[in-house]
Amino acid sequence: MIRLLLADDQALVRGAMAALLGMEPDLAVVAEVGRGDEVVDAVRRHGVDVALLDVEMPGMDGVAAARELRAAVPGCRVLMVTTFGRAGYLRQAMAAGAGGFVVKDTPARQLADVVRRVHQGLRVVDPALAAQSLAHGDSPLTERECDVLRAARDGGTVADIARELHLSEGTVRNHLSSAIGKTGARTRAEAVRLAVDNGWLLA
């Protein structure tokens, strides 16, 4: 029996996945959580074999939860199951140690098969996402440019961003200008949107 944890902040989605996977004779959903920062404790408490994680959750996003889980309980496999089929998310998830990445509209029988394959240590990726990931390439943004775009997402002024990140206003303007250029955007709001859409910045 393969013991599963479902981590998704939408109770309805969790319930539907639990019901569908629970119909498989060799799969058992033994834990459900609605926050990314609850994943590691639940995995330890319930002896989970495969954790199915959403990307966007309160407390901690799925990619960070996957990274923390792989460090804390390396024997537990990770499968990302998400609405957000973005190429950049796929790269981030795989770098964090996920064994698979599929979208939520994957048919139930196919999802169960993916769970089994990830449990065996195989890597399983949605083919359309894999092709998209290759087409988009790696993120062109530096870590500091990502920090500035994250801070800019809330619509604060350059002075607000500078205060939040402990940078000078000139440095913030330079990073924003560079990020806008690299994303091909016309405004910082568009740069944020493009970075999120490409998975270079978690939403």
Q: What is the mean pLDDT of residues 99-128?
A: 90
17 alpha carbon, distance to own chain's centre: 18
Residue 181, SS3 per DSSP: helix
The string of pLDDT tens digits covering residues 5-54 is 999 999 999 999 999 999 999 999 999 999 999 999 999 999 999 999 99
- State the CATH class of domain 143-197: mainly alpha
Q: What is the mean pLDDT of residues 75-96?
A: 83
What percentage of residues in the chain have a pLDDT greater than 90?
66
The H or E element that residue 100 is part of is: strand 100-103
pLDDT of 203: 52
Beta-bridged to residue 27, according to DSSP, are: 2
The string of pLDDT tens digits covering residues 67-81 is 999 999 999 999 999
pLDDT of 161: 94
CATH topology match: 2-135 vs 143-197: no
Tell me the whole-structure pTM to 2 decimals: 0.71
Architecture of domain 2-135 in CATH? 3-Layer(aba) Sandwich (3.40)
Q: Where are the domains of the chain?
A: 2-135, 143-197
Beta-bridged to residue 166, according to DSSP, are: none
pLDDT higher than 80, residue 85: no
Q: What is the mean pLDDT of residues 182-192?
A: 89
What gap in Å lies between CA 55 and CA 45, rounded to an integer?
22
